[in-house]
Structure 1
Amino acid sequence: MFADRGALADSPAHDLALDCLAAGIEAGRPARAVERNCSVDGDVLRIRDAEYDLSAFDEVVLLGGGKAADGLAAALENLLGDRISGGVVVTHEPTADPERVTVREGEHPEPGEGSVAGASAVLERAAAADERTLVLAAITGGGSALLCAPAEGLSVRDLRAVTRELLDAGAAIDEVNAVRRTCSGVKGGGLAAAAAPAAIVGLLMSDVVDDDPAVIASGPTVPTETDPEVALAVLDRYGVDLPTVGAWLRDASTTSAPDVDVDNHVLASGRDAVDAARDLAADRGYEPCVLARRLGGEASEAGRFHAAVARELAESGDPVEPPAVLLSGGETTVSVTGDGDGGPNLEFALAGAAALPDGAVLGAVDTDGSDGSTDAAGALVDAGTVGDADADAASRALAENDSYAFLDERGALLRTGATGTNVDDLRVLVVERPVRF
């Protein structure tokens, strides 16, 4: 899974950290999610605790978008076979090739023309559905950018700019999506409204902290009222001043939630990744400890916190005795003040490396395989990554948001390529033995 693994796994602690990260990513793959939550018995499709009679429909259509949408489509095809009549999904870097569902490519993390064309194809197919159609909506993380249908009066350029400004300002994903939802014809239940009167079932893979279906991909299958004042408040909070978007929001009116019934099921989330890593650590004889499955906040501060916990564990045996593996999930943010390259997991790892005790190894990845806009999933660091002679350079790299270059020079980057999933970030901290300071 990890490129150059042999060079990275230079101790048992490094090896274990890599295995835990790999286990978490594997647990979040669409095929595993469908295996855990879906089954077919005769004409009955079971999704978690719900049952759907396939004989009641003339066709089953699969529509959606997100970084794992193609993999989810392929997994559902494997389950349902020729019961699936067709469909369209939009993704970023395809890793699966379903036979009956067309895979379109869009742009991420900012929407582009491919995202608009893909969303248009999805909505057109949704509009062709009738009351004898079962629409399975494959919605995964990344869908906010990949399914882009600008509201009348706005362009993809406007939505790209507001997305970039908010992300650079360190806005949380639910805040970014509150703006995108208001400015969109597909989010906030727009896909479900287009498919009515079909029966609509959302199959979701979460990349957001609380697994809120309305926030995952900005909720294409979750009918939601939109309030321009809420979106304007988010822009105000982060000092984002885009005249076209601001003027449009000030002229817009609150819209009611689309009147359509939808069953939404979350099939996978960051919890699955954390739990898989925890179980592997326990199997290897380490004491696992989940610090948080929903960690947010500034990435560099979270990295320093993990390093502080590692020092406490190594010195006093709190919160667990070593050898131990500490774990966290969730999604941190970066307030961009420099013009370097990096992402939340790279900043987390670099900030943590500067304060790690000897014998501790810290790994962090975005489970989709791309941290920020880089080609690295994350990084694997230890106390030697930032030596005394490197302390000033590490501080400058963090100040300039250039963690990628610093970690690349030290062979600490983790590269996986597109993983075919997207279930939040995963962090693994291995402490082998007590350390006396």
Structure 2
Amino acid sequence: MFHNRATHATTPARETALECLEAGIRATVPERVVPDTVSLEDERLSIDGSAYDLSGVDRVIVIGGGKASTGVARALESILEPALADGRIDALEGAVVSRSTGETSPVQTSHVQVLEGDHPIPSQRNREATASVLEYAADAASADLVLATITGGASALLTAPAADISVEALRETTDALLESGASIDEINAVRKHCSTIKGGHLARTAAPARVVTLAISDVVGDDPSVIGSGPTVADPSTFSDALAVCRRYGLAETLPDSIRRRLESGANGDLEETPDPDDPAVAAADWHCLAGTRTAIDAAEAVARERGYRTLVLSSRFRGEAADVGSVHAAIVEEMLVRGDPVEPPAVVLSGGEVTVTVRDASRAAADGDAGGGEGVHPAGVGGPNQELALASALEFAQSGVDSAVLASIDTDGIDGPTEACGAIVDGGTLPDSEAVDAGRNALDAHAVTSFLEELDSILETGPTGTNVNDLRVVVVDPS
């Protein structure tokens, strides 16, 4: 899975770190997750323990978006095709919007259209593809079952601007939010109030059909209203909340006019709010999370245990500045080596979540991303949150003299920042002298870490993985 794996797996500890990461990714791909949680028996479709009777269903319509939506759609086709073949359902159709894979051919499907879009910044082709999704939703009838696949990246890929908002205005606003260091829920509060698909609007459009969501989570805590900006669930945020986010990060005065007018009008009570829990459409919809960050962590931990390591899961909910989180992980390693706390080496420490990078100098660029921590696009400095985290850890290792630890941090979708890297792997020898340490600090300060880490052969690459459950980190501490 990792490109140039032999280059990185130069010690048993480094090889273990890579194997744990690969296990985490494999455990969350739709081709594995969907068959494990969805099944068809007679006229009963079971999804994550809930049963849905197909006896009165005419069509099954699969709609949605996100980086893993293509795999989910294809897996659902495999499960439902027997019901189509023998007449238990009359039709299987729909459309999902997934990220362009560049030179990689899109996954082939037989019944559900896969429409390619751009990420993390909304584009015109995202808008056109999303219009097809909304058409299928609007056409759904009471005798139809709508399966909505919502996975990481759906917030950008499902682009349906409200009122007179243009795609360009959405793009400008998204860029500013990503650079601000705002959290995923804050960014999505703004997105939902500028959209006709997010924040429960997709479920409202599909009514009166039965709507069942199959989610793969890329957000801390797996909040249904945050994953993909919650197109099929109630929205707890308001126009006032969205406007407050923009003000909190100093963006309110620089927003495009159409965005600012909409948020201010909504905050003044002149526009209808997004669907709340009492809205019949979202109240009738079901939601299932098939996989998330913890799924990946558990799979990685199992590999470490099989190899005889003690294990410790710090948290699946890390958030904050990438460099700060990297320093925290390095400090935990020091404590392990000196005192044997919180776990005695040899041990593997695991964590996940979504770290962010705040652009503090507009003349430089940062590796920010989806909801402040994944795939931001900037003109100068190039890097990614997981790369910054790893470099910050390497700097701490060098300063404290740690020489028996390996840290590898990746974004499970295979893309960390505006780069082809998914993250980085470092150890006590990554920065061997004071000159390297000084250069590393300069790269981190400038948010330009990719080229620096490339020179050290520390960059990890997988290409698009077909899944997205946020960041995954593995720290192997082995003094032997």
**For the superposition of Structure 1 and Structure 2, which TM-score range results when normalised by the shorter chain?**
over 0.9
Offset at residue 223 of structure 1 (A): 2.9
2:441 pairs, out of 362, 380, 395, with 395
Residue equivalent to 1:273: 296
Corresponding position: 1:179 with 2:190: yes
Q: Deviations over 1:330-350 (max 9, x none)?
A: 101110233201111011001
Conservation of the 8 A alpha-carbon contact between 1:188 and 1:214: yes
Match of 1:222, SS state, is: coil
For 1:224 and 1:355, locate their aligned partners in 2 and report how far apart those are by CA, in whole Å: 41
Offset at residue 259 of structure 1 (A): 2.9
Percent identity over the alignment? 49
Offset at residue 77 of structure 1 (A): 1.2
Match of 1:223, SS state, is: coil
For 1:304 and 1:278, locate their aligned partners in 2 and report how far apart those are by CA, in whole Å: 22
Q: Deviations over 1:37-72 (max 9, x none)?
A: 111111111111210011210111100000000011
Offset at residue 254 of structure 1 (A): 4.6
Offset at residue 198 of structure 1 (A): 0.6
Relative to the length of structure 1, the TM-score reads 0.97
Amino acid aligned to 1:296: R
Offset at residue 262 of structure 1 (A): 0.4
Residue equivalent to 2:393: 352
Offset at residue 35 of structure 1 (A): 2.5
Offset at residue 256 of structure 1 (A): 4.9
For 2:333 and 2:78, locate their aligned partners in 1 and report how far apart those are by CA, in whole Å: 43
Conservation of the 8 A alpha-carbon contact between 1:201 and 1:263: yes
Residue equivalent to 1:220: 231
Conservation of the 8 A alpha-carbon contact between 2:395 and 2:441: no
Conservation of the 8 A alpha-carbon contact between 2:199 and 2:274: no
For 1:256 and 1:285, locate their aligned partners in 2 and report how far apart those are by CA, in whole Å: 51
Unaligned runs of 5+ in 2: 85-90, 366-380
Conservation of the 8 A alpha-carbon contact between 2:28 and 2:291: yes
Residue equivalent to 1:93: 100
1:249 pairs, out of 237, 242, 263, with 263
Corresponding position: 1:414 with 2:460: yes
Offset at residue 176 of structure 1 (A): 0.4
Conservation of the 8 A alpha-carbon contact between 1:225 and 1:254: no
For 1:345 and 1:89, locate their aligned partners in 2 and report how far apart those are by CA, in whole Å: 28
Unaligned runs of 5+ in 1: none
Q: Deviations over 1:108-137 (max 9, x none)?
A: 111101110111010011111101100000
Residue equivalent to 1:301: 324
Amino acid aligned to 1:247: R
Q: Deviations over 1:349-390 (max 9, x none)?
A: 010111121011000010000002211000111112123221
Compared with structure 1, are the counterparts of its residues 118 and 184 closer, same or farther at alpha carbon in structure 2 (3 Å cutoff)?
A: same
Conservation of the 8 A alpha-carbon contact between 1:269 and 1:423: yes
Conservation of the 8 A alpha-carbon contact between 1:133 and 1:198: yes
For 1:319 and 1:146, locate their aligned partners in 2 and report how far apart those are by CA, in whole Å: 41
Alignment of structure 1 residues 27-426 onto 2, 5 Å: 27-82=27-82, 83=84, 85-93=92-100, 96-224=107-235, 227-240=238-251, 241-244=254-257, 245-252=259-266, 253-257=271-275, 258-260=279-281, 261-337=284-360, 338-339=364-365, 340-356=381-397, 357-387=402-432, 388-426=434-472
For 2:214 and 2:328, locate their aligned partners in 1 and report how far apart those are by CA, in whole Å: 35
Amino acid aligned to 2:285: V
Match of 1:352, SS state, is: helix
For 2:237 and 2:407, locate their aligned partners in 1 and report how far apart those are by CA, in whole Å: 41
Match of 2:224, SS state, is: coil
Moved more, 191-200 or 91-100: 91-100
Q: Deviations over 1:242-273 (max 9, x none)?
A: 14122221123351514302000000100000
For 1:322 and 1:50, locate their aligned partners in 2 and report how far apart those are by CA, in whole Å: 42
Residue equivalent to 1:8: 8
Conservation of the 8 A alpha-carbon contact between 1:66 and 1:142: yes
Offset at residue 101 of structure 1 (A): 0.8
Offset at residue 320 of structure 1 (A): 1.0
Amino acid aligned to 1:330: G
Amino acid aligned to 1:348: L
For 2:96 and 2:256, locate their aligned partners in 1 and report how far apart those are by CA, in whole Å: 33
Offset at residue 225 of structure 1 (A): 5.7
For 1:336 and 1:61, locate their aligned partners in 2 and report how far apart those are by CA, in whole Å: 42
Match of 1:297, SS state, is: strand
4+ aligned runs moved over 6 Å, structure 1: none
Conservation of the 8 A alpha-carbon contact between 1:287 and 1:325: yes
